[in-house]
A and B are shown apart, each in its own frame.
Chain A
Amino acid sequence: MRTDEHDPVTPQPPPPHPLRVAFVRLEGVLSPRSALAATAWIAGNGQTIGQRLTGLAHAAALSPARGLLHALDGALTTRVTHAALRGLSEDRIHILAEEYVDDFLRPSLREDALDRLRALRRTHDRIVLLAETIAPVVESLRDDLRGIDDVLCNHLEFRNGRATGRLLEPLVGGAATARLAREHAATLGAPLEHTTALAAHAGDTLLLAAVGHPVAIAPDPLLHRTATTAGWPIERLAD
């Protein structure tokens, strides 16, 4: 998904300096809510009681070990997380995504992280949001994400209007996130050494390692340790 508020209507000359791109993670940086929270909430509001129980059980089983699993294999964890949505209709996922954003995700957006985003806007040519959550959730958040040029998020596969529980490639999550960011930067013609990435979880270590200006924002303990070791800047958030 792309949000084009900042795209000029007429083509503009390329900037005099190398294109500076900033990758910002939604989960952990802009909001403390994880992709699992969105998935669990949507799955817990299935059409039938059976769907609800299955979805909630799925999320509950995954929840305790998710942090560790994510650090070990983020891509697999992302896939397993979204498998909870299997069988739900596209209509339901879209409408519930709006409800989730209104009730949970939007209120959880960190004001100082958004300020940080605005500051990045001044120093970077292009801001890319990386979201592990699914597209309908990010689309519902569009109005709150002014300043974002591109969004890279996960897309569910639908068959006959129902989610199969599988995610379409390319995936956002774990090592795949770093690969996707690299590819996106290459597409934009942005050298990685001039690229910034803001992340909060250990699962994004590879992403941070791939760019020239990694910043750990309110990092979890694992990422904090890694950031300290690697000498990456660590920023705390007020809320």
Chain B
Amino acid sequence: MAPVPNPPPLDVTAAFEGRRVLLTGATGFVGKVWLALAIAHLPGLRRLDVLLRGRGDTTPRERFTAMVDGHPVFQALREQLGEDTLRTRLEQVHVVDGDVAQPHFGLSEPHLEAFRRDTDLLLHCAGQVDFFPPVDETIRCNIDGALHAADLIASSDRARLLHVSTCYVAGNRTGFQPEAPVRPHTLDGRTVDLDAHLQEIRDRLGLLRLLFESPMGREHVAERLRRRARLKGLSLPEEGSEEWERQRRDEFRKALIAEGHRIAEEMQHPNPYTWSKWIGELLVDRALPPERRCTFRPAIVESARRFPMPGWNEGFNTSGPLIVLIGTAYRYLPARPDHPFDVIPVDDVARGMTIASAALLEGCHADIYQCGTSALNRLTVGRACELTSLGHRIRRRQDGTPSERLLSHVETLPAPPDHPLGLPRLRDALAWATDRMQRAADHLQAETGREGSLQQQLRRAAKRSASAANELRKIQRLVDVFAPFIHDTPQVFETEALRSHRVKDPHFRVDVTSIDWRHYWTRVHMPGLRRWCLDAAGTGFRDRADAGTAPRRENGAALPSTQEKAARNGAHAHDPPSSGAAGNGAAPADVPPLPAASPMRHDARTSAPGGP
């Protein structure tokens, strides 16, 4: 449905009056903020169903109760509304047991019937937002989830679908990206037969699983594990033991991650996340007529400007790792200074979703709503880099050690990837130095016949040099992951559809032109990340004042530290969470060369720029 040329003023509150809404992804970053926004500012909702999965022994209801009772977002809401008002509003919220990866979301028959007869809007916010998760997880959540959402809508009397996707469905296309439906074509012009493509991928994954379980595949993996144990000097677990099986599963997981990367590369997408969202949009567009659906595409979702509180953030999002990196002594970031860095605060996203939903309910919606800043109030990578350095400087002035303050004067600069002091050259130089020092130590030992202090010093220096090279290797992985967003694919996203709605209620207005990037980045976003996300020592980013307020999950358990997350290679899923043990961050070179594993550039994982 094309945008209405001159739509009447949109009364968002009235549009939701007496409506019944089903929300998925309510425990995710965006979903949670939307839920809080709805509770705070949409009192007229007749009923808000929240789809949640049980986790372990925890029932969906218990998960929800724990979230409402203990989560900072709801603590903030409690302070704003008061306990009594919050309780009253929560009476409209009902937890529904279900899973987006299941047909019809796995709803029980009564819930399914109620949905078909009585629900007005499905706000499908659930998504797997890791950049490089095992591809089967991505497919289950982002592709199957979208398909199931569309099926539910198709089977209902009147429900409509707001499908939350990402601006980055544009893949590797550069330049201006209009608010237009995705097309089943790759960047190089190949037409994708959606069903055949999905079937091929499912077949490949089935084959991969078969190969892993086959005697040949088991022996192949066993050989890899033995070789790795030898190289690292680790003891090899007994074949068939629990530890052995865990390591085997890890190998399979890595193979799935590699497969996801291969698919994304083949379809000319920067990562499996954007590819899966692209497929999800194609499926929804095919399954539903325009009057019953619209797609909402946020760009890089970051800390809240105001709601539920300034700086609120969750997870290790796109800018987080870069901000940490810029806080180190690392100097030349392979990035284009003028590359748009399309960051959008999460509360603007939640408000935008509400506007789009209201328009959808009122039947005056556009097909696509993009929600970003690059078109109207552009933040560039160069500016973000500089603001980050200045933000670190502000913090370190307050509570930094003398060495940290000194570090503030070494600023990271965007530079071409082949900069003389860039990563590859530095790594080469360190490798050369390590080799020379080791050789010199060996030579001296051979000459003198003993290990003197000079040799020891040389070996220590060589070890430090090798360690530094290893750190640079990790940085290179991180930079490679973010290359599409800071160097490779400059994109500007049209955001006219949201602007075309004249919104009456100020609670829901989205005005990205009012973002003061200097203030937002240094006084809201960076302190927010520090407070809510980056809580580990050693990142150079710890806010000591907040040491006692580590963010907690909705069940009250402490969130994993940045170090823990780093150990998981920044894996971050909002909802549903990554199942099982996350990968250990091995480079793709570690991935067994099973079916058509192609050489990879990206080999670390982190979370998605946009989407839920």
Contact = CB atoms under 8 A, between A and B. Distances in A.
B interface, over-half SS: helix
B394 A95 contact: yes
Given A94-B518, A95-B518, A47 B386 contact: yes
Contact of B383 (A48, A91, A95, A96): A91
A221 interface: no
B389 interface: yes
A91 B386 contact: yes
Contacts of B394: 95, 99
A218 B469 CA distance: 59
Interface in B407-424: 409, 411, 413
Contacts of B409: 45
Contacts of A233: none
Interface string A47-90: 11000000000000000000000000000000000000000011
Nearest to A90: B518
Contacts of B390: 91-92, 95-96
Interface in A98-118: 99, 102
Interface centre among B386, B387, B397 (most CB of A within 10 A): B386
A95 B393 contact: yes
Interface residues of A, number: 13
A89 B518 CA distance: 11
B522 interface: yes
B413 A48 contact: yes
A130 B394 CA distance: 28
A114 to B, nearest CB: 25
Given A47-B411, A48-B413, A92 B386 contact: yes
B524 to A, nearest CB: 14
Interface centre among A48, A89, A95 (most CB of B within 10 A): A95
Contacts of B522: 95
Interface in B379-398: 383, 386-387, 389-390, 393-394, 397
A161 interface: yes
A6 B383 CA distance: 37
A99 B517 CA distance: 18
A interface, over-half SS: helix
A48 B411 CA distance: 7
Contacts of B517: 91
Interface in B500-523: 517-518, 522
Interface string A6-28: 00000000000000000000000
Given A47-B413, A95-B390, A95-B522, A89 B383 contact: yes
A99 B397 CA distance: 9
B402 to A, nearest CB: 15
Contacts of A89: 383, 386
B33 to A, nearest CB: 27
A161 B389 contact: no
Interface in B515-542: 517-518, 522
Contacts of A45: 409
A47 B413 CA distance: 8
Nearest to A48: B413
Nearest to B408: A45
Contacts of A102: 397
Nearest to B387: A91
B300 to A, nearest CB: 19
Contacts of A99: 393-394, 397
A16 B64 CA distance: 69
Contacts of B389: 47
Nearest to A103: B397
A105 B383 CA distance: 27
A95 B517 CA distance: 12
Nearest to B521: A91
A45 to B, nearest CB: 8
A191 to B, nearest CB: 41
Contacts of B518: 90-91, 94-95
A48 B383 CA distance: 14
A91 B522 CA distance: 10
A204 B331 CA distance: 45
A90 B383 CA distance: 10
Contacts of A91: 383, 386-387, 390, 517-518
A102 B393 CA distance: 14
Contacts of B387: 91
A18 to B, nearest CB: 41
Interface in A146-189: 161
B515 to A, nearest CB: 14
A89 B389 CA distance: 13
Nearest to A102: B397
Nearest to A52: B409
Contact of A161 (B383, B397, B411, B413): B383
Contacts of B413: 47-48
Contacts of A48: 411, 413
Nearest to B517: A91
A94 B517 CA distance: 12
Contacts of B393: 95, 99
A84 to B, nearest CB: 18
Nearest to B412: A47
B399 to A, nearest CB: 14
Contacts of A161: 383
Contacts of A92: 386, 390
A13 to B, nearest CB: 37
A225 to B, nearest CB: 42
A91 B387 CA distance: 7
A97 to B, nearest CB: 12
Nearest to A95: B390
Interface string B344-362: 0000000000000000000
Interface string B42-76: 00000000000000000000000000000000000
Nearest to B409: A45
A86 B383 CA distance: 17
A47 B392 CA distance: 13
A86 B290 CA distance: 53
Nearest to B390: A95
A102 B518 CA distance: 18
A96 B518 CA distance: 12
Interface string B236-276: 00000000000000000000000000000000000000000
30 contacts: A45-B409, A47-B386, A47-B389, A47-B411, A47-B413, A48-B411, A48-B413, A89-B383, A89-B386, A90-B518, A91-B383, A91-B386, A91-B387, A91-B390, A91-B517, A91-B518, A92-B386, A92-B390, A94-B518, A95-B390, A95-B393, A95-B394, A95-B518, A95-B522, A96-B390, A99-B393, A99-B394, A99-B397, A102-B397, A161-B383
Given A48-B413, A92-B386, A92-B390, 19 more contacts: A45-B409, A47-B386, A47-B389, A47-B411, A47-B413, A48-B411, A90-B518, A91-B386, A91-B387, A91-B517, A91-B518, A94-B518, A95-B390, A95-B393, A95-B518, A95-B522, A96-B390, A99-B393, A99-B394
Nearest 3 interchain pairs by C-beta = A95-B390, A91-B518, A47-B411
